[in-house]
Amino acid sequence: MEEWLMLAGLFDERPRARELIYIMLAQRAARALAGLMMHGQEYTIEEATEFASAWTPRGWMPPDSNTVWGEQHLYLAQPGYGTSYLMGKIQIEKIIAERARELGDAFTLRGFMDELTSAGVIPVSLVRWELTGDDSEIRQLTNSR
C-alpha cells in the first residue's frame, strides 16, 4: 500500500518518506528470502537473521535486534507468511493492470482501491474473480474446468 500511494504522488512533498518506503520494501524482501532459505533448510535461524540484517539498508535491522529475531521466528513458524507480502503485491498489481485495461480512461487508482477494500479481507484470487469476472485462478485451485 505504501509503495502504491507513493507512486500515486502522495509523498511527493516528503522525500524522506520515499526513502523509508524503499527501505521497507528491501527489508520485506530480505526477510522473506531469509524465511524461504530457512524452510529450504539452507539457512539456520542465525544465518537468516544475518541475511535479513545485511540486506536491510542503512543498518536499520541490526542482527542482534529483537525485531529481526522476532520476524524470523514468526516466518519459521508460519511458512509462506513472509513471501505472501511479495506475492500479494504481485497479484494485486496484476488486478490493477486488468482493471485499467477493462475500464480505460474511467480507471482511477482511487476507484480501484475502493473496490479492493470493499471486497473485504479475502484471498486475492477471490478479489480478482469479483472485480474482473475471471475465475481461472479459482478453477485452477479446485482443478475444475
* 78-124 confidence digits (pLDDT tens): 998 888 888 899 999 999 999 999 999 999 989 999 999 999 888 89
- Please provide the average confidence, as pLDDT, over all residues in the chain: 92
Place of cell 522476532: 70
Q: What is the pTM of this model?
A: 0.77
3-state helix vs strand vs coil in the chain, percent to 5: 75, 0, 25
Cβ–Cβ under 8 Å, residues 31 and 38: no
Which band of pLDDT confidence, cut at 50, 70 and 90, is reported for residue 144?
A: low
CA–CA gap between residue 101 and residue 77 (Å, rounded)? 39
Q: What is the rounded distance in angstroms from the CA atom of residue 37 to the CA atom of residue 55?
A: 14
- Write down the domain spans for the chain: 2-79, 84-142
